[in-house]
Chains A and B, each alone.
Chain A
Amino acid sequence: MNASAQPLIRLNGIKKVFYTDEVETHALAGIHLEIQQGEYVAIAGPSGCGKSTLLAILGLLDTASEGTYTLNGNEVANLSLSERARVRNREIGFIFQSFNLIGDLTVFENVELPLIYRGMKAAERRERANAALERVGMAHRAKHLPSQLSGGQQQRVAVARAVGGQPSILLADEPTGNLDSKNGEAVMDLLRELHRGGATICMVTHDPRYAAHADRGIHLFDGRVVEENVGTVV
């Protein structure tokens, strides 16, 4: 993908409407957003403002009802299901609030899984997965199952899984939501460190302390961007 002059992500007029029992809910009402390569963006706002919906659309987990979405210069709003899966696998790394590690797989196998889906050769997979685990300080737990780890450790493994494939952007949805403050801080430090290393990060959070870690804050309310600022998010 071409990544020089244009933003990594460009959303133009993105709307999302949910239809349930003849009731229309406008979750997103015309979002315009650009995220540059190497940026660290925090999306904040009250419950129900559309943060997670926006992140799901950014991560190609959901589709917009209207608007265009360009990722790395390519229009991705109308891709087929399998093309979306390919883009998710190569361009996007997810970090979820509830970790979402697969309980039957070891730490190493969890980190390796996206690389398997990519069709990567075993030797390269091993190298990359080990490097990612080293990076988050979890290599010593490679053979453990997720259930044998603390919440903070599980989230570190989830981060390793997200970065192992060297994606264009990391999408983090309330990455500290299920952690105590100490572990939360540790994960935020890890994200900060990744950012320093060049990673592009887009994080949803409702906690102003963690939002402050980001370079840029975007505040959503009723599905619209109501405020953008650099350095802190209100």
Chain B
Amino acid sequence: MGVLGQDIRYALRSFRRAPGFTFVALITLALGIGGTTAIFSIVDGVVLRPLPYPQPERIHRLVRVNARSTDGSFSAADYLDVKRDTKAFVSIAALREDIIDLTGRGEPQRVPGAQTTGGFFDVFMAPPIAGRVYREATDQPGAAVAVISERLWRQQFGREAGAIGTKVRINGTPTEIIGVMPATFRHPVVADVWTLSPLEVPVSPVPTDDGLSSRDVQYFMAVGRLDETAAIGAAREQLKSVGARLAREFPDTNRDRTFDAQPLAESLVADVRGALWILLGAVGFVLLIACANVAGLLMARGAARRRELAVRTAIGADRGRLMQQLMTESLVLAGAGGGLGLLAGAWILQGLMALAPDNIPRLNEVSLDWRVAAFTLAATMAVGVLFGLAPAMQASQPELNTDLKDGGRSGTTRTGARSVMVVAQVALALVLLIGAGLMITSLARLQAVDPGFRTTELVSVELLLPQARYSEPLQRQFYAGALERLRANPVTARSALIFPFPLGGSNARADFEVEGQPERPSSEDAHAELNMVSDGYFATAGLRLIDGRDFTVADGPDAPPVVIVNDAARGAFGGRSPIGARVNLGTWVTVVGVVSDARRQSLDTPPQPAVYLPYTQFVMPYMGVLVQTGQGAGATALVVRAAVADLDPELPIGEVKTIEQLISESTGQPRFRSFLLAAFAALALLLAAVGVYGLISFSVAQRVPELGVRLALGASPWQVFRLVIGRGVQLAVAGVIIGLAVAAAAARLVGGLLFNTSTTDPVIYACVSLLLLTIAALACYVPARRAMRVDPMTALRSE
């Protein structure tokens, strides 16, 4: 410990005496380690950290699968069969996300929640922080009880214990609050109230004729806890077997479909896992480049310390002892860099959390805790060894006789290892730049997509109705009244109703079968996107009527059911005009119009076949109003709120968003990814430029006598300039060639995240290569100018 302590003291002292070197090295390390720490915090919180429930690995999400896709939504009858016949799960529960109106205590509030079956909390086994939870064994379906979140408890009840047992009105029904879940309980991700369904499944948002025996309408999710004695393989076999039986018994609805189970933790983050790992890899590249830079600095420093190391060797230090001292210095440097990196990581993480789109799951679990600190410590140690080893190995082999005489000035100039590192830095930076180039191009192309609807001067307002108070006729009556009031106001004169909002994330679909057309093979998707709209929606949203007519007041509840299809649905009509044709959407309807296509799911999903039903015939309690107005969201919200209050003073309006917000939210993840990758690439470019600059500067300093001889022999300053620039560009070209090969292979990893962009887009590869070579040449400019100004007499005297 004494010797180690001395080495540490010496390291600290020598770093104090070289403030320039220490500052650059620490900043480089802090940026590399800080960035890695911040991204690791997100990866850890979102992907790696176990769910905060007992034995989380036993919790699974049940899904329906066919050859083409996996779907997490269940019908009532399928769910009940699975629950009855799958014995490997100790409990299975169903849940449907819901918007809940909370009244009877202060201002009416609309909060996100979930309606679940009795076994919901049996699956998660998370204990409440106050009161109790409902359970399958003790609470009957329909019991008017609710569990609330810690957030709601805090905001509405000031964390009072008396909240337990309080009666509030939930969607108009008097309900007793029986428990409070901790803030860590997040299923669904955004929920403040959990209510017990009156049935063995959540209540359907759309009326079904056959209730619990319906296999047509899938509208809720299912989760299960694996029995401690059961293996997941056995559970999956059981689910498969149930699926096969139902496919045989109910071919109309279950043909080619079966069931499966996915670990809940994995299924929650399936959409973002790949992108996050890629970002961690990218920031890892930045860290490697930072290491190479610091290694380069240490090698330059090692060259300046050749005499000192030779003296140490001469008086008895063997190579191992020198290595120990040099590695101690590297680790001290890495430790300080790691400490700063942790601080930088906390700041960067704060920034990233502010920038991250809301739809990244489990983001609330991201924190800079001991797991992240342990990662940073491990990364710091690894970094210390990584950047310290090569310089230590090089510096611990002094050329004794020469170094003792003149400090190594006349010895060989060992820049080979540094050159290799600069080539590697350039290659890594190129890979990141190409990745960023691909992402940014993809984002630009995504944002340039014509969604098929107006992209300005549209405001959406949610108008959800509590089903407990609003029967179907009342829903129709309410929406008609609201529309009438809104159209009477100049601010909202051009209003229409729609469910769901474009790019709002809804996946409502319906079976789609055209009368007289042959049945489509099961490999083809026979579904259409389902929309309920009012008259005037197409004009308000900016869709074109291609054929037929819009809905009119004549399309009332008692009129023959009608539908308007989009252009993409024409293919299902076998080349005939859709107008007048009948289609089966679970019930037979007649096509009266064809409208232009619009993207509903996301900008990167091409328009799908879609059907538009008049809300007057097919109403949903989740309609919203879309207003074409130049008055902005605030003014629109005021008018809508007044119209709603006029109809139902207890009914709050939902979220108000402009179309720009809806579009922006839908591109949030690609924008976040592109921003991060571009930031990492810019940092990598800067570090690589510093690396090239450092090496060429060092090389010029070492070659001053040689350059003096060249100048004395008649070389022009420009010839010396070209010689120095040429060396830098030579290294950069080598790095670019290697980087291009690596990028071509690595770009395949981001292929799935790109939109209309080839992973080998030659324009991006060429532009990025050119950019990097230009930056490398610029980085060589200053040392090259210095080389031009070498005074031959001074240089030769020093020789």
Q: List residues of A whose CB falls within 8 A of some B CB.
A: 52-53, 56, 59, 61-62, 81-82, 85-86, 88-90, 94, 96-98, 100-105, 113-114, 116-118, 122, 161, 165
Point out the residues of chain A lying under 8 angstroms from B3, CB to CB: 116
- How far does the Cβ of A114 sit from chain B's closest Cβ, in whole Å? 4
Q: How far is the CA of A85 from the CA of B313 in the complex (A)?
A: 7
In the complex, which of the residues B312, B315, B321, B405 has the most CB atoms of chain A within 10 Å of its own CB atom? B315
Known contacts A88-B314, A116-B3, A116-B6; A82/B401 CB under 8 A: no
Known contacts A52-B401, A102-B308; A117/B17 CB under 8 A: no
Contact assessment for B319 and A102 in the assembled complex, using a CB-CB cutoff below 8 Å:
no
Instruction: Choose from B6, B307, B404 the contact partner of A61 (Cβ within 8 Å).
Output: B404
Contact assessment for B10 and A81 in the assembled complex, using a CB-CB cutoff below 8 Å:
no
Contact assessment for A117 and B317 in the assembled complex, using a CB-CB cutoff below 8 Å:
yes
Instruction: Choose from B13, B321, B404 the contact partner of A96 (Cβ within 8 Å).
Output: B404
Point out the residues of chain A lying under 8 angstroms from B321, CB to CB: 85, 117
Contact assessment for B311 and A100 in the assembled complex, using a CB-CB cutoff below 8 Å:
yes
Contact assessment for A100 and B319 in the assembled complex, using a CB-CB cutoff below 8 Å:
no
Contact assessment for B315 and A113 in the assembled complex, using a CB-CB cutoff below 8 Å:
yes
Smallest CB-CB separation from B317: which chain A residue? A117
Can you report 25 residue pairs joining A to B where beta carbons are below 8 Å apart?
A52-B405, A56-B400, A61-B401, A81-B318, A81-B319, A82-B320, A85-B313, A85-B317, A86-B316, A86-B318, A90-B316, A94-B314, A96-B311, A100-B310, A100-B311, A100-B404, A102-B308, A104-B14, A114-B316, A117-B312, A117-B315, A117-B316, A117-B317, A118-B316, A161-B315
Smallest CB-CB separation from B307: which chain A residue? A100
- How far does the Cβ of B792 sit from chain A's closest Cβ, in whole Å? 24
Point out the residues of chain A lying under 8 angstroms from B14, CB to CB: 104
Smallest CB-CB separation from B11: which chain A residue? A104
Point out the residues of chain B lying under 8 angstroms from A165, CB to CB: 316
- B2 beta carbon closer than 8 Å to chain A: yes
- How far does the Cβ of B193 sit from chain A's closest Cβ, in whole Å? 67
- How far does the Cβ of B423 sit from chain A's closest Cβ, in whole Å? 28
Contact assessment for B311 and A102 in the assembled complex, using a CB-CB cutoff below 8 Å:
yes
- In the A-B complex, the 5 residue pairs with the smallest Cβ-Cβ separation, listed nearest first, are A89-B316, A85-B318, A82-B318, A114-B315, A61-B400
Smallest CB-CB separation from B10: which chain A residue? A104
Smallest CB-CB separation from A171: which chain B residue? B314
Q: How far is the CA of A100 from the CA of B308 in the complex (A)?
A: 7
Smallest CB-CB separation from B309: which chain A residue? A102
Smallest CB-CB separation from B3: which chain A residue? A116
Known contacts A98-B405, A116-B3; A104/B319 CB under 8 A: no
Contact assessment for B401 and A56 in the assembled complex, using a CB-CB cutoff below 8 Å:
yes
Contact assessment for B13 and A104 in the assembled complex, using a CB-CB cutoff below 8 Å:
yes
Point out the residues of chain A lying under 8 angstroms from B310, CB to CB: 100
Known contacts A82-B319, A85-B317; A102/B401 CB under 8 A: no
Contact assessment for A102 and B316 in the assembled complex, using a CB-CB cutoff below 8 Å:
no
Q: How far is the CA of A61 from the CA of B409 in the complex (A)?
A: 18
Known: A52-B401, A52-B405, A90-B316. 20 other contacts (CB 8 A): A56-B400, A59-B314, A62-B400, A62-B401, A82-B320, A85-B313, A85-B317, A85-B318, A85-B319, A85-B321, A89-B315, A96-B311, A96-B404, A100-B311, A102-B311, A102-B312, A105-B10, A114-B316, A117-B317, A161-B315
Instruction: Choose from A104, A105, A122 the contact partner of B2 (Cβ within 8 Å).
Output: A122
- How far does the Cβ of A101 sit from chain B's closest Cβ, in whole Å? 8
Point out the residues of chain B lying under 8 angstroms from A118, CB to CB: 316
Point out the residues of chain B lying under 8 angstroms from A90, CB to CB: 316
Q: How far is the CA of A60 from the CA of B315 in the complex (A)?
A: 11
In the complex, which of the residues A53, A85, A89, A122 has the most CB atoms of chain B within 10 Å of its own CB atom? A85
Contact digits for B1-40, partner A, Cβ 8 Å, 1 yes 0 no: 0110010001001100100000000000000000000000
Contact digits for B412-438, partner A, Cβ 8 Å, 1 yes 0 no: 000000000000000000000000000
Contact assessment for B17 and A104 in the assembled complex, using a CB-CB cutoff below 8 Å:
yes
Point out the residues of chain B lying under 8 angstroms from A114, CB to CB: 315-316
Contact assessment for A88 and B315 in the assembled complex, using a CB-CB cutoff below 8 Å:
yes
Smallest CB-CB separation from B321: which chain A residue? A117
- How far does the Cβ of B114 sit from chain A's closest Cβ, in whole Å? 66
Q: How far is the CA of A23 from the CA of B3 in the complex (A)?
A: 45
Contact digits for B294-328, partner A, Cβ 8 Å, 1 yes 0 no: 00000000000001101111111111110000000
Point out the residues of chain B lying under 8 angstroms from A161, CB to CB: 315
Point out the residues of chain A lying under 8 angstroms from B317, CB to CB: 85, 89, 117
Q: How far is the CA of A105 from the CA of B11 in the complex (A)?
A: 11
Point out the residues of chain B lying under 8 angstroms from A97, CB to CB: 405
Smallest CB-CB separation from A162: which chain B residue? B315
Smallest CB-CB separation from B310: which chain A residue? A100
- How far does the Cβ of B568 sit from chain A's closest Cβ, in whole Å? 75
- How far does the Cβ of B2 sit from chain A's closest Cβ, in whole Å? 6
Q: How far is the CA of A122 from the CA of B1 in the complex (A)?
A: 12
Q: Which residues of B from 125 to 149 have beta carbons under 8 Å from A?
A: none
Q: How far is the CA of A215 from the CA of B13 in the complex (A)?
A: 44
Known contacts A104-B13, A104-B17, A122-B2; A85/B400 CB under 8 A: no
Point out the residues of chain B lying under 8 angstroms from A103, CB to CB: 308
Point out the residues of chain A lying under 8 angstroms from B320, CB to CB: 82
Q: How far is the CA of A73 from the CA of B2 in the complex (A)?
A: 34
Point out the residues of chain B lying under 8 angstroms from A101, CB to CB: 311
Smallest CB-CB separation from A99: which chain B residue? B311
Q: How far is the CA of A84 from the CA of B537 in the complex (A)?
A: 91
Q: Which residues of B from 588 to 605 have beta carbons under 8 Å from A?
A: none
Point out the residues of chain B lying under 8 angstroms from A113, CB to CB: 312, 315
Q: How far is the CA of A9 from the CA of B400 in the complex (A)?
A: 21
Point out the residues of chain B lying under 8 angstroms from A85, CB to CB: 313, 316-319, 321
Smallest CB-CB separation from A91: which chain B residue? B316
Q: How far is the CA of A96 from the CA of B313 in the complex (A)?
A: 14
- How far does the Cβ of B323 sit from chain A's closest Cβ, in whole Å? 11
Contact digits for B389-418, partner A, Cβ 8 Å, 1 yes 0 no: 000000000001100110000000000000
Q: How far is the CA of A85 from the CA of B310 in the complex (A)?
A: 11
Point out the residues of chain A lying under 8 angstroms from B312, CB to CB: 102, 113, 117
In the complex, which of the residues B3, B6, B317 has the most CB atoms of chain A within 10 Å of its own CB atom? B317
- How far does the Cβ of B732 sit from chain A's closest Cβ, in whole Å? 31
Point out the residues of chain A lying under 8 angstroms from B400, CB to CB: 56, 61-62
- How far does the Cβ of A162 sit from chain B's closest Cβ, in whole Å? 8
Q: How far is the CA of A94 from the CA of B317 in the complex (A)?
A: 13
- How far does the Cβ of A134 sit from chain B's closest Cβ, in whole Å? 20
Smallest CB-CB separation from A53: which chain B residue? B401
In the complex, which of the residues B13, B307, B308, B316 has the most CB atoms of chain A within 10 Å of its own CB atom? B316
Q: How far is the CA of A3 from the CA of B97 in the complex (A)?
A: 93
Q: How far is the CA of A101 from the CA of B307 in the complex (A)?
A: 9
Point out the residues of chain B lying under 8 angstroms from A88, CB to CB: 313-316
- How far does the Cβ of B393 sit from chain A's closest Cβ, in whole Å? 13
Q: How far is the CA of A59 from the CA of B314 in the complex (A)?
A: 8
Smallest CB-CB separation from B407: which chain A residue? A98
Q: How far is the CA of A116 from the CA of B9 in the complex (A)?
A: 14
Q: How far is the CA of A60 from the CA of B13 in the complex (A)?
A: 31
Q: How far is the CA of A95 from the CA of B17 in the complex (A)?
A: 26
- How far does the Cβ of B451 sit from chain A's closest Cβ, in whole Å? 66
Smallest CB-CB separation from B405: which chain A residue? A98
Point out the residues of chain A lying under 8 angstroms from B316, CB to CB: 85-86, 88-90, 114, 117-118, 165
Point out the residues of chain A lying under 8 angstroms from B10, CB to CB: 104-105
Q: How far is the CA of A114 from the CA of B321 in the complex (A)?
A: 12
Q: How far is the CA of A161 from the CA of B405 in the complex (A)?
A: 18
- How far does the Cβ of B333 sit from chain A's closest Cβ, in whole Å? 15
Point out the residues of chain A lying under 8 angstroms from B405, CB to CB: 52, 97-98
Q: How far is the CA of A94 from the CA of B404 in the complex (A)?
A: 11
Q: How far is the CA of A52 from the CA of B313 in the complex (A)?
A: 17
Q: How far is the CA of A133 from the CA of B519 in the complex (A)?
A: 103
Point out the residues of chain A lying under 8 angstroms from B17, CB to CB: 104
- How far does the Cβ of B538 sit from chain A's closest Cβ, in whole Å? 80
Point out the residues of chain B lying under 8 angstroms from A100, CB to CB: 307, 310-311, 314, 404
Q: How far is the CA of A88 from the CA of B404 in the complex (A)?
A: 15
Q: How far is the CA of A105 from the CA of B325 in the complex (A)?
A: 14
Point out the residues of chain B lying under 8 angstroms from A104, CB to CB: 10, 13-14, 17, 308
In the complex, which of the residues B3, B318, B405 has the most CB atoms of chain A within 10 Å of its own CB atom? B318
